[in-house]
Structure 1
Amino acid sequence: MRLSGLQREVLSLYRQCLRECRKKPQATQAHFRSFARREFEKNIQLDKRDFSVIEFFLRKGRRQMEMYASPGVKDVRQ
């Protein structure tokens, strides 16, 4: 199955989030993974043709990932 450009961007962001999780302390990596998964699952029902909404969530997700990727952030609140 071929993926659209936006679908590839979403998958890329998800993989990047998972990579960032591995940089966190071992004890909190599971928290970061479950947080990332929940954030993506919140919007799984979006219509794949709703480009403006998907682009908005991609921008929001990138900003959020950059914030949580900061070395000062050790855990995510559940």
Structure 2
Amino acid sequence: MFTNDIAAREAEALGFLPISVGHNIGRILRQGGIKTDEEGLSDDYEFIFSKKLSREEQSVLDLLPLYASVAGSTRSIV
């Protein structure tokens, strides 16, 4: 469930589909085990500004558009 823009974008990047619901519906869904966008996020990753990447990390990042096109993705990877 949607709680804020940043968490929702991170959750979408991880494959979740956050939805916005009313407070009472959200409470019922949480009691039923549905996670909020913040709860669905993992803490085993970190964000690094691309300017701080090592040369090896940057070369891997540069290949992502190629991997996406080979996989048939229509989403932009930039």
TM-score norm. by structure 2 comes to 0.28
Larger radius of gyration, structure 1 or 2?
2
* Larger helix percent: 1
TM-score norm. by structure 1 comes to 0.28
Q: Which has the higher contact order (CA 8 A, sep 6+)?
A: 1
